[in-house]
């Protein structure tokens, strides 16, 4: 994932540097359309296709897309049939 950033001089620049002289951004603005769900570090979108759903995989510690539900911990309560 790449993040593009611009640093603008507004005349109100404030900052702190720690012992390693790192600059850490505390506010990041992302324009609409530039961020995708798969850009998140805990989302695995490999294998995505029409009709799949996203499900959390506790073993892998990430969300994965799947076309089949195979999980003993899942309960779907959808009303009366």
**Which domain does 43 fall in, by range?**
37-66
- 44 bridge partner residues: 64
Chain position carrying tokens 């779907």? 76
In contact, 7 and 27? CB cutoff 8 Å:
no
The pTM for the full model equals: 0.51
56 in any annotated domain = yes
C-beta of residue 22 within 8 angstroms of C-beta of residue 2: no
Is 19 contained in some domain?
no
* In a domain? residue 80: no
Contact yes or no for 53/66 (Cβ under 8 A):
yes
**Residue 44 domain flag:** yes
In the β-sheet with 53-57, what is the strand arrangement from edge to edge? 43-44, 62-66, 53-57
Report the number of distinct structural domains present in the chain: 1
75 lies in a domain? no
**In a domain? residue 47:** yes
pLDDT tens by residue, 7-60: 666 666 666 656 666 666 677 777 777 778 888 889 998 988 998 989 898 999
| Inside any domain, residue 59 | yes
Would 62 be classed as within a structural domain? yes
Tokens of 81: 């049939």
């Amino acid at each position: 994932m790449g993040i593009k950033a611009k640093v603008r001089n507004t005349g109100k620049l404030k900052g702190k540097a720690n012992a390693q002289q790192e600059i850490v951004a505390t506010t990041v603005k992302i324009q609409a359309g530039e961020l995708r769900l798969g850009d998140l570090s805990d989302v695995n979108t490999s294998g995505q296709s029409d009709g799949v759903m996203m499900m959390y995989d506790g073993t892998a510690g990430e969300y994965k897309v799947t076309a089949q539900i195979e999980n003993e911990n899942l309960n779907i309560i959808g009303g009366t049939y």
